[in-house]
Chain A
Amino acid sequence: MRTVRKELSPGVFFNYIPAKKFKNGLLSVQLLMPISAETVAPGALLPAVLRRGTERCRDMRALSCALDLLYGAGLSYTVRKKGENQCFGFLMSFIDDQYALGGEKLLEPSADLLGEVLLRPATENGAFLPAYVDGEKDNLTDAIRSILDDKRDYADKRLIEEMCRGERYGIPRLGTEEAVAALDSAALYDFYQRILMTAHMELFYCGSAEQERVEDALRHGLRGLPHGERVEPTRSIRVAAPAQPRYLDETMDVTQGKLSLGFRAPAEDEHAMLLANLVFGGYSNSKLFLNVREKLSLCYYASSAYHRSKGIVTVSSGIEFADYQRAHDEILSQLKAVQAGDFEPRELDGAKSVLINAIRSREDSGMRMEENTLGQAATGLWEDEETLIADLQAVTPERVAAAAQSMALDTVYFLKGEGDAK
């Protein structure tokens, strides 16, 4: 698939992916900035406040009605972490013009609405409406507290926080309750104006329209975007594991324990590391799945994830409290096996097939292409798909073992039930 990437103005990039096969078009506008403790909370709050209302559509109902008239178009705000950058912005999905009942064009009004939400918010006395800011502060606070409701997510989040304490990567994506409480309408508006001038921007379109038409629509929608010195996305810093791993636990009234392990994985051979992670715990033929789950029935889930941009691997599992030590030991012994090259050719072949399948099928989803493009823009790691696939196919078992050997245990986090002795 032919992707066009061009710089529309300094620090503002447009990614265009033509595709006639989809029923809908996808537009995205994203602002990127290095994660910092000072900016995560306003960065997470801002898109929610912008989504409340614009100059033309003053409240959520007016915005919803505008979306209804665009045939139920979806407009959502996103707050994401890509490497050590915070990315926030808006995604808009709308049906392809050919299905509009009256033959009307939907790309232009969609791009206008997207630009309006970003650049022409509802304001009062030169700041956001205090009611919107207060309401969204409450919602964001609830969202921060609700991370606790999904114990799996909560355990994974706690692991990263503890393991990467003092690094950008360990700063929570939505900020803290205290930081949110400290924000007000005027401060947020200042942040907004600064960020519009300084954040790196990525625009994205996937759909059936010609490039020129999309560019015109976006330029019109984003008219009035201020010019400024835009900061490039930051590259993640790799950190070594401590001499002795850190062990932490927390107690809660839950029926299932969550055991999460974090490893530093600084291997420079990242393609081999991608595969080492899959063989270890990244797919349904992996060592963790087959041994810890299937063979020993130690847990309902046990899987690993390679955070490539940061060079770390995390393992997350749900276990009976009493199985803590066995599960912990078994996970580490499976890692040793990968490091020793103790895996069958089929385990590696399966990992390659699954990964290559995922890469090839990406072009069937506008959302996945957007996610991938944003990730590449944030990390500066532009990879040609076919070159990547060819190199993955050439990775040897020795390269996989060598990459796995870079993994060193950093932190172990255990969420256990009340009254359970560990």
Chain B
Amino acid sequence: MTKTEYPRIGETVLTETLPNGLRVVIVPKPGYRKRYAFFTTRYGGMDMRFKLDGVWHDTPAGIAHYLEHKMFDTEDGDAMQALSLNGAEPNAFTANSMTAYYFDCTEHFEENLRVLLSFVSVPYFTQESVDKERGIIAQEIRMTEDGPDWRVYKNLLACLYRSNPARVPIAGTVESIQEITPETLYACHKAFYAPSNMLLCVVGNVDADTVLSIANEVLPAEPGEPIERDYGAEEELSVFQKSMTFPMEIASPQFLVGFKCPAGDDDLFRQSLIGELACDILLGDSSPLFMRLYDEGLINGSFGGDFDQLPGVAYLFAGGECKEPEKVSQAIMDEAARLAREGVDETFYQQIRRANFGASLRSLGSFENIAVGMADGYFRGFDPYRFPEVYDSITKADIEAFLRENIVEERRAISMLVPKSEANA
């Protein structure tokens, strides 16, 4: 295995690509009792259209998530139960461009790892089991749809993007999942769950050679075919729809304002750190704008923002509970224009950079954060543990250019939720 030391953050990482193309990343954690395995495929809610065996497939919204649910079924029972009998509560999630299965445990790690690798790589679906799951997933979708945080976010993406699949809900809709059959699930598993499209990350005190030999033994020898994906045409930077207002059974109105940024393909990591720094400088807890809006009672502690990237997608967003979203959104644009015009204060810039470095470091306390970061970096072509060096390379001129270019009217969309009681009044 290749061993890389990261002295600035006190970490060591072992990596290897197996003959079948599987990327294995091991992050040793001396002193911890818990061991954590994270097995993931570069396949998520956005991957609805792809080419397999020379043929383009269009699959229903929500299929990656449906597949995630059904992967726990095995011919001789249920993998979740097998793992939890060993004290390892397994879990899984489907994101926009990743599906992951993971567990942590203090005992029986090797046995549990075998179960994990085996149930994720061997599909077993029947018409009956697929039909039965529909009710459970429909309930999950309904529950999600009742959640204001999800709704305000999804509406924002639907405003920002015309055709990119990021605007489609990851779990699909109660209608779209009706079309899912065992055959489509098998086809998606074949396309996306091949070792060369996957990554295994293990965090904790483990023997690296044993992990490799278990992976070699349990997983298929064939790497699988490279997959072509279609996320639709590259989008213009103007937004699809300026705003959307949605009534819900909630106590206080909420909003999210988003600014569409160039999706970019060179140095995504640097772009993401610039976006995050710009967001904190513009409207973070220690920014002059945050203070002013908070003092005026326009925002409360729920207010916050971030920068996010997905295939073909990049946007800065901010929001929270707020009674006058248009006013706050305008204030954000005015402040960005001021910073672009007058420049960012050098001392403040250094302070935010130091704070973000510390926050990045503190996030490594979570094994899940470590593994998700490793997988995301690998799938998108960067090393997430290089963040100290990337921060070194960013200057305040980068931040000013980012704000000048992106935080403008044409790129802005706003998603608002209003309480039903007010909507009816």
Contact = CB atoms under 8 A, between A and B. Distances in A.
A24 B362 contact: yes
A245 to B, nearest CB: 25
B104 A74 contact: no
A366 B284 CA distance: 26
Contacts of A363: 33
A255 B146 contact: yes
Interface string B393-425: 000000000000000000000000000100000
A138 B286 CA distance: 21
Interface in B281-311: 284-288, 290-291, 294-295, 297, 300-301
B142 A256 contact: yes
Contacts of B162: none
A283 B288 contact: no
Interface in A260-312: 283-285, 290, 293-294, 297, 299-301
Contacts of B362: 23-24, 72, 74, 93, 95
A142 interface: yes
Contact count band on A: 35 or more
Nearest to A26: B365
Interface residues of B, number: 65
Interface stretch (B80-88, B194-202, B210-218): B80-88
A73 B358 contact: yes
A212 interface: no
A56 interface: no
B145 interface: yes
Contact of A349 (B85, B287, B290, B295): B85
Interface string B81-106: 10011111110000000000000111
A128 to B, nearest CB: 15
B179 interface: no
Interface stretch (B15-23, B24-32, B38-46, B48-56): B24-32
Interface in A55-76: 59-61, 64-65, 67-74
Contacts of B232: none
A284 B89 contact: yes
Interface stretch (B153-161, B233-241, B245-253): B245-253
B31 A20 contact: yes
Given A357-B88, A360-B33, A72 B354 contact: yes
Interface string A30-73: 00000000000000000010000000000111001101111111
B139 A299 contact: yes
Interface in A127-186: 131, 135, 138-139, 142, 145-146, 148-152
B221 interface: no
A364 B359 contact: no
Interface string B1-19: 0000000111000000000
A49 to B, nearest CB: 12
A23 B10 contact: yes
Contact of B81 (A142, A150, A285): A285
A205 to B, nearest CB: 16
Contacts of B62: none
A253 B142 CA distance: 12
Contacts of A301: 143
Nearest to A71: B358
A117 interface: no
A320 interface: yes
Q: Pick the 3 closest A-B CB pairs, nearest first.
A: A71-B358, A353-B87, A64-B286
Given A61-B288, A71-B354, A145-B251, 15 more contacts: A21-B32, A22-B365, A60-B291, A68-B352, A69-B355, A72-B356, A146-B321, A149-B251, A284-B80, A284-B90, A299-B139, A300-B142, A318-B143, A356-B87, A363-B33
Interface of B: 8-10, 29-34, 78, 80-81, 84-90, 104-107, 132-133, 135-136, 139-140, 142-143, 145-148, 249-252, 284-288, 290-291, 294-295, 297, 300-301, 321, 351-352, 354-359, 361-362, 364-365, 420
20 contacts: A23-B361, A67-B355, A95-B361, A99-B8, A138-B297, A256-B139, A256-B142, A284-B84, A285-B81, A290-B81, A300-B139, A318-B143, A346-B85, A350-B85, A353-B84, A353-B86, A353-B107, A354-B84, A356-B106, A361-B34
